[in-house]
């Protein structure tokens, strides 16, 4: 027996989802971790939108009724949370696959849509607050 080290056969890659991990080559782990941190940031943003939507509805319940505007604002915020959560997953998958294949990272139209919704809601809130009284 020689004292040379023996290498283990490669373990079967059982990571999920296969359509992500089954393509290309392993990217630098730093990029994979950065992609994961971005995913988690989107999830935190989604939770923030969801919490804001629930909070708007909960605070409004202390008044006599939930007005149409409050229901709409709450629904828009919850919808943004849902969009952020789904977009987080889609962006993670697309970015990870692109890194594995050596392709440029894809852009996301969700960024523009969410920015537009947030600006529109902020403008409506500014008008409502300015003329409330």
Domain boundaries, the chain: 27-128
* d(C-alpha 72, C-alpha 104), whole Å: 38
pLDDT in tens, 59-104: 888 876 668 878 888 899 999 999 999 999 999 999 999 999 999 9
Q: Which residue is associated with the tokens 């994979």?
A: 32
| Cβ atoms of 21 and 15 closer than 8 Å | yes
Among the residues of 1-133, which ranges form H helices? 18-21, 29-60, 68-101, 109-131
Residue 31 scores a pLDDT above 80: yes
């Amino acid at each position: 027996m020689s004292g040379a080290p023996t290498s283990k056969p490669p373990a079967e890659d059982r990571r999920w989802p296969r359509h992500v991990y089954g393509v290309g080559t392993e990217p630098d782990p730093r990029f994979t971790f950065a992609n994961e941190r971005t995913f988690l940031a989107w999830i935190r943003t989604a939770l923030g939108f969801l919490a804001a939507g629930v909070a708007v509805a909960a605070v409004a319940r202390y008044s006599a009724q939930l007005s149409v505007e409050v229901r709409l604002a709450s629904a828009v915020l919850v919808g943004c949370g849902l969009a952020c959560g789904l977009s987080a997953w889609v962006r993670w998958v697309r970015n990870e696959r692109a890194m594995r294949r050596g392709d440029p990272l894809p852009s996301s139209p969700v960024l523009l849509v969410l920015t537009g919704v947030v600006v529109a809601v902020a403008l409506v809130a500014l008008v409502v607050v300015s003329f409330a009284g």
